[in-house]
Amino acid sequence: MSAALISLACTMVVFAGGGKETSSVESGQVLRIAHPTLTQSWSPLQGGGHQVRWQSLMWAAPMYFDKEGNLQPYVISKAEPSSDFVTWRLSVNPKAVFSDGSPITAEDVKGTWDLCVIPSTKHQRADLFLGGVKGFKEVASGTQKSLSGIVVKDSRTLEVILSEPDPIFDQKIATALIPPVKISQARDANGEEKREWWHPKNKVVVSGPFMPESMDLDQGIVVLVPNPNFFGPKPKLSRIIITTVSDASTATLMLKTGKMDAHTELITPTLIDDLGADFVSGPPLAKGHHFWFDYSKPPMDDINVRKALIMCINSEDLAKAAYPKGPYIPATQILNKVPGVDPNFQKYPYDPEGAKKALAASKYKEGRLLPKIMFVGISTPTHEAAAQYMAEQWRKILGIEGVEMKADLDSYSGPDQKSVQIFRDDVGTRVPDAVSYLLGSIHSSSGNARGKMGGYKNPKVDALLDEAKTKGVKDPARIKLAQEAQRIFRDDYMYIPYYYDVMSKWAMPWVMNFDKNDDWQVIEPWNVYIDESKKVKK
């Protein structure tokens, strides 16, 4: 209903020919962003929340991945490991300066990272990037305030000592979520984050291509202007205005009529119909959604049952059931996007007859004799459509009648909570590395294996991944071992592949160069501009 009204409204507006061009101003181009929440803190040291999606506009990351996935220097110009990958020498870019023209120093980098780890800052993802640094646990638990593993050698050089070898530490710090800040401005005398130091009223200095001109936290309006001292390319936009628009229908209408150009993250059931597929399109993410079997719960303790359930599913139909208009890609193997995706991976076949045979070979023999199959993670209409498709396939092919699906475990009654066998959830990696991807998804130490797969442990898989993680990034054995681990995991029939995520740009077609990376950041904000010829004419 709302979609129809919005579409009708927009069509009328287009035909009426009223209104005026909105995003071109005399002094240059203005990018207007609708933001879904009333953000009260724009601290770059939070590592989460909606505001973090715009971090790269104001803050230069230590390093970053470009559109092609190549690691690029930014504040850190060079990261050199020792031969055993335990010590890393980081060089601060001599051109890197804050918006007041003062240099970004090694002390700023260390101070920022110390601040990210101490509990009171509440950084959400510090462990992902800095968890391997010596002394992390002490600082994260609040007993220390300085990471002993980060040593300032001189104003431009840092030495990072890790607790164990990590050949991809440089990739881990390629994120805008731990951007070096002017530490004398951000940290108070107690070594904790100063309140509202990031606000322009406190004369914040930033390092990114844009700097805040004003922040009205009560109205929810943040205005950014180009940073005159930015050490990278000159930004093409003259202004960025981020306005809180909490209501999704209002935001949709604003985007459709050209009052807004982009959104932080807009999710509505009719999004593609309202704003077009281009709005949500984007490059694939190293993240896949799958249905995981908990093999400690009957009937999933029987590999033939798992095999039968998997072979009933046509992966393309499954993804289409959830997202008939895209943009998501049907999944096959666990690995996607990262170097090391296995070209020879044998995807699970859609084979109804094979499924029947597998079930007959199980201890249950027939579908009607299986315990009730219960899903969790069916939290959106799209996931529900996918789960319904699976239930229907199982009913048609295997005669399974008892299937239940809920959003979360708490929705089940007490005894049933302990019997849930299928979890819909995603796995992925922030760094373009197959070993990291699999360590976080199928290794027995991963939360995914321990939780959703019911303590899954295949010693062969673990051994291969444990060996792979010690190999250098350029060592071909690293990928080979990872692929081998994935093949062995495949034969355990532990998951139903669902779809790979994309990093939606959530921007109208006239917003150019708005590509984002796996941290949801606009990769090169200085290149963003508005193509007026593509803009909606009211």
Partner 1 sequence: MGKYIVGRLLRWIPSIFILLLLIYALVFFGAGDPIKLIFLRAPGDVAYDEARIEAIRESAGLNRPFPVQFGDYISHIIRGDFGNSLVSGRSVNEMLSAAVPVTLQIGLTAVFFLALIGILLGVIAALNQNKLIDNLIVGFALFIWGIPVFVSGPLIIVFMVMVIGADIPYGWSGLFSPKVIVPLLVLGLNPMALIIRQARAAVLEVMSEDYVRTARAKGLPSQIVVFRHMLRPVLIPVFSQLGLIVINTLNNSILIEKVFGLPGLGRLTESAIKDSDYPVILAIVLIFSIVVMLSNLLVDIMYPLLDPRAEYKRKGGEE
Interface residue list for partner 1 (CB under 8 A): 2, 5-6, 8-10, 12-13, 16, 18-19, 37-41, 43, 48-50, 52-53, 118-120, 122, 124-127, 137, 140-142, 193, 195-196, 217-221, 243-247, 249-250, 253-254, 257, 259, 265, 267, 447, 520, 538
**Contact in structure between 521 and 56 (CB atoms under 8 Å):** yes
Beta strands (DSSP E) in 60-109 are: 63-65, 71-73, 76-81, 87-92
Show the CA angle centred on residue 180, arms to residues 178 and 182, nearest 5°: 135
Mention every residue, 6+ apart, whose C-beta is less than 8 A from residue 289.
331, 424, 425, 426, 498, 499, 500, 501
Q: How far is the CB of 175 from partner 1 (least distance, A)?
A: 14
Q: How far is the CB of 209 from partner 1 (least distance, A)?
A: 23
Q: How would DSSP label each residue in 244-269? A: E---HHHHHHHHHTTS-SEES----T
Of the two residues 267 and 277, which places its CB atom closer to partner 1 in the complex? Answer: 267
Of the two residues 195 and 534, which places its CB atom closer to partner 1 in the complex? Answer: 195
Of the two residues 227 and 336, which places its CB atom closer to partner 1 in the complex? Answer: 336
Element (H, E) at 501: strand 495-502
Q: Which two tokens stand for residue 228?
A: 């005159």
**Contact in structure between 181 and 46 (CB atoms under 8 Å):** no
Q: How far is the CB of 256 from partner 1 (least distance, A)?
A: 9
Q: How far is the CB of 200 from partner 1 (least distance, A)?
A: 15
Q: How far is the CB of 496 from partner 1 (least distance, A)?
A: 22
Element (H, E) at 352: helix 352-361
Instruction: Tell me the HSE value of 501 on the side-chain side, using a 13 A CA sphere.
Output: 18
Residue with tokens 């107690």: 190
Mention every residue, 6+ apart, whose C-beta is less than 8 A from residue 518.
65, 285, 286, 287, 428, 429, 430, 503
Q: How far is the CB of 46 from partner 1 (least distance, A)?
A: 9
Of the two residues 245 and 530, which places its CB atom closer to partner 1 in the complex? Answer: 245
CA dihedral 511, 512, 513, 517 (to 10 degrees): 30
Of the two residues 18 and 459, which places its CB atom closer to partner 1 in the complex? Answer: 18
Q: Cα(298)–Cα(448) distance, rounded to whole angstroms? A: 19
Q: How far is the CB of 42 from partner 1 (least distance, A)?
A: 9
Of the two residues 92 and 260, which places its CB atom closer to partner 1 in the complex? Answer: 260
Of the two residues 419 and 444, which places its CB atom closer to partner 1 in the complex? Answer: 444
Of the two residues 40 and 72, which places its CB atom closer to partner 1 in the complex? Answer: 40
Q: How far is the CB of 201 from partner 1 (least distance, A)?
A: 12
Q: How far is the CB of 190 from partner 1 (least distance, A)?
A: 11
**Contact in structure between 308 and 360 (CB atoms under 8 Å):** no
**Contact in structure between 96 and 230 (CB atoms under 8 Å):** no
Residue with tokens 């092919």: 397
Of the two residues 156 and 256, which places its CB atom closer to partner 1 in the complex? Answer: 256
- Cα R_g (the chain), whole angstroms: 25
Q: How far is the CB of 49 from partner 1 (least distance, A)?
A: 5
DSSP 187: B
